Each structure stands twice: as C-alpha cells, then as structure tokens.
Amino acid sequence: MEITLKNLCKYFTSKDKEVVKAVDDMNLIIPSGKLVALIGPSGCGKSTTLYMIAGLYEPTHGQILFDNEDITKISPEKRGVGLVFQNYALFPHLTVRQNIMFPLENEIGLKEDKNKLVEDIAKLVNIDALLDRNISELSGGEKQRTAIARALIKKPKVLLLDEPFSNLDARLRLQTREEIRRIQKETGVTTIFVTHDQEEAISISDEIAVMNDGVIQQIGKPIDVYDKPLNLFVAKFLGNPEINVFDGVLNNSKIYLKNNYLSDFDSKDNKDIFVAIRPEGFIVDKIENGFSSIIEQEKGMIKAKVDQVHIIGGETTLVLNNPFKDNSFFKVTISNDLKIEESNIVSLLIKPNKMFIFNKEGDLL
Ligand SMILES: Nc1ncnc2c1ncn2[C@@H]1O[C@H](COP(=O)(O)OP(=O)(O)O)[C@@H](O)[C@H]1O
Ligand SMILES: [Mg+2]
C-alpha cells in the first residue's frame, strides 16, 4: 500500500494560546512494501505524523492517501493500520496470547482459528514459547515483540512503529532492528518507523525522511542523504561522530580557513561560509612530534595538534585542536594501523567528496 501525505499539517494551541506547528506542510510518498524511517530530534513532529496516519489525530490541513484513496476522514479501525506505541501500551493483566488476540475480539470466527493466527504471528516474531506468560514476566525485548505481534494480527497493510527500540539495551536494539527488517520483508507490509537515532534509521531503512521543527528537511535513500546533505541540519544530524564545521571564507572561487587556502570551489559568490567535513573525510599526510605551540599551516591541508586518541573497536577517533578557533575541537576517524599519539601534530588532506560547503543560512552551495 502506497501512502501519500499531501500538505499535511497539525497545529496545536497551547494553554497560553500559542500555536505549535507540530507538523507543517508535509509532503511525503511512502512506496508500497518499503520501510521508511522518519527521523529527527525530539519534539520535531514524528509521533504526531504517525498518529495522523493511524487516524488518532485529525490533521489541521492536508490529506492522507492510501493507494490514491483519500482516507483523511476515515476512522482508525477502517484504515487497516497496525500501530506500535513507544511504550508498547500492552495490557499488563493479560497474557501474551490475550494481548495479541485482543484486536480480534470483535471479529467473528472460531476460537481455534484465532488461536492458530496468534500462534503463527508469535512464531514470526519469535515469542511462540511465551504465549501463556503474563506481560509482567517479559523482558523489554519480549514486550516489544508482543506489541509488534498485536499490531500485525489483523494483517495490516501499514505498520507504524513509534521509537521501537528506545526501551531496549544496546545489544537488543541491534538484534531487534535486524528482526524488524526481517519481519517487514517477510510480510511485505509498508512500514514507517520513527526514531531520533540516525544510526538505527540508516542501517535498516529503504528511505529516510529527516524532520526538524515540523518540516521535512530531506528525503532519500540513507546513503544518498548522508553523501549529499542539502543543509547543515541534515549534515549534522546524520553521522557519528558528528560532522566537523569550520568557519570559512569563499573568495575568487577559493576556500580559506582564516587566511589559509584550503581548496578551490567553483562559485561566483564571495562570502562567509561553513566548511563541513565528515570525520572520515581526512587523510593523514604527515605525523610530527609537537614541540612548538604555533602551527604553521600548509596550503591545501589542515595541520592540527592531537588532544586525545580514542580507540573504539576497529577504528581510532582523534580529537584535535581546531587551529583556526580557540577552545574548539574537531574529530577525525582513522584506521587503528596509524600510530598517532597525544600531542602529535598531524597534517591532514581533505577528501573532496566528504566536504560540504554551506552558506551562513545553512543551505548547501
Ligand atoms: N497533544 C498535544 N498538545 C499540544 N502540543 C503537542 C501535543 N502533541 C505534541 N505536541 C507538540 O508538538 C510538537 C511535536 O511533538 P511530537 O510529534 O510528539 O514530537 P516527536 O515525536 O518528534 O518527539 C512538540 O513541540 C510537542 O510539544
Ligand atoms: Mg515521539
């Protein structure tokens, strides 16, 4: 089922009569059978969007289409949508089986048939051994699966997951996100999941939509958005460690960091800019022992003193003094093979495809 959001808006009026534009003029197509992540910081309007698609909130303006049919005014039960809330919202006094079966309560049909359905879904999400347990006897991950099973029991055409991993520990998050991807592929259900965690979104989604302040910033395949962020917000939101941002100047098609030539840049504009470079966008050209406190920059490079060396798994992250700004640091990820120590001075070349130039409004140049 393809989902189309057309100029979708949801405004709330707070107690002091201020209008909060939780979702503002949102346009988005979620292709049939795909897994799409809606990502953005807390409060940017992700849950509000899901609740409108589920029919729990009525949009202030705009339309929601399921396969070209306008369902904006259709009641939640008639939409064929399965929703998993962030806190799961399971019934604590019922068993796993009763929870999963709950949406079938008003359906006609034999008890045995319903039980069979529950058992099939439970198998799909790997909780078939737990069906007669109480909810209170489940771990976070098992509750999570129970909630997904309950959302899937009526074979929805659309599955909506609100921060599905937020209550799980790190290892379980990893496992659960792979499992959600598997379940989504097996059932072919069009799925939207919401998260504030970019890593999660990038790893399992067909497409991501990045939101900020109720407005979609960019839509695309995760790798395309990562490699070509259209504004500084998106560039900073995707990637860990966060992208480095230097103050720069564009003059006669050349980029300078505090009077030091960094690279050419084809543009007729002469103005202040942000030079954003991903941590993996540097090549270590030289390593020196640092004695002098003043570092002479060289053309086309950034020379900086290493403040800290963090070895994390198979990678090393260097924290370096930003030579162009006092009390400011930037991060570089390199292979563990390079032996670099604190206080070393490294000369860094820049990979052009890892550097993005933004104007002071934050738009890509
Ligand atoms: N029922 C509500 N009444 C008033 N304001 C709300 C309501 N629900 C959400 N908001 C506001 O709308 C914005 C978006 O909220 P939400 O969709 O929950 O964000 P997210 O899920 O991305 O964290 C926030 O500023 C939030 O305070
Ligand atoms: Mg939310």
- Domain boundary assignment for the chain: 3-237, 244-359
> From the first residue on, what is the mean pLDDT of each consecutive set of 10 residues in the chain (365 residues)?
98 91 97 96 96 97 97 95 91 95 88 92 92 92 92 93 85 85 92 90 93 97 97 96 97 96 94 98 93 83 96 92 95 93 96 98 97
pLDDT value of position 160: 96
Shortest-distance Cα residue to atom 26 of ligand 1: 43
Query: How far is the C-alpha of 149 from the C-alpha of 186, rounded, in Å?
Result: 14
Query: How far is the C-alpha of 245 from the C-alpha of 270, rounded, in Å?
Result: 19
Residue 342 makes CB contacts below 8 A (sequence gap 6+) with 306, 307, 308, 309
How far, in Å, is the centroid of ligand 1 from the Cα of 22? Answer: 6
User: Which of 15, 24, 48 should be mutated for ligand 1, with most atoms under 8 A from CB?
Assistant: 48
Whether omega for the bond prior to residue 241 falls within 30 degrees of 0, making it cis, is: yes
pLDDT value of position 165: 82
What is the CATH superfamily name and number for domain 3-237? P-loop containing nucleotide triphosphate hydrolases (3.40.50.300)
pLDDT value of position 290: 76
pLDDT value of position 2: 97
Ligand closest to CA 45 = 1
Query: How far is the C-alpha of 183 from the C-alpha of 7, rounded, in Å?
Result: 31
Calculate the CA 45 to chain-centre distance.
Answer: 13
pLDDT value of position 284: 97
User: Which of 8, 9, 11, 12 should be mutated for ligand 1, with most atoms under 8 A from CB?
Assistant: 12
H or E stretch covering 215: strand 215-220
Atom of ligand 1 nearest to the CA of 10: 12
- Does residue 42 line the site of ligand 1, with CB under 6 A? yes
Sole residue written with tokens 């048939």 = 113
Question: Angle at CA 27, nearest 5°, toward 44 and 218?
Answer: 60
User: Which of 11, 16, 18, 20 should be mutated for ligand 1, with most atoms under 8 A from CB?
Assistant: 20
| Fold adopted by 244-359 | OB fold (Dihydrolipoamide Acetyltransferase, E2P) (2.40.50)
Ligand closest to CA 21 = 1
pLDDT value of position 199: 87
Rounded to two decimals, the pTM is 0.92
- Does residue 12 line the site of ligand 1, with CB under 6 A? yes
pLDDT value of position 109: 84
The conformational region for residue 105 under phi > 0 = left, psi -120 to 50 = alpha, else beta, is alpha
Of the candidates 36, 18, 24, the residue with the CA atom closest to the CA atom of residue 201: 36
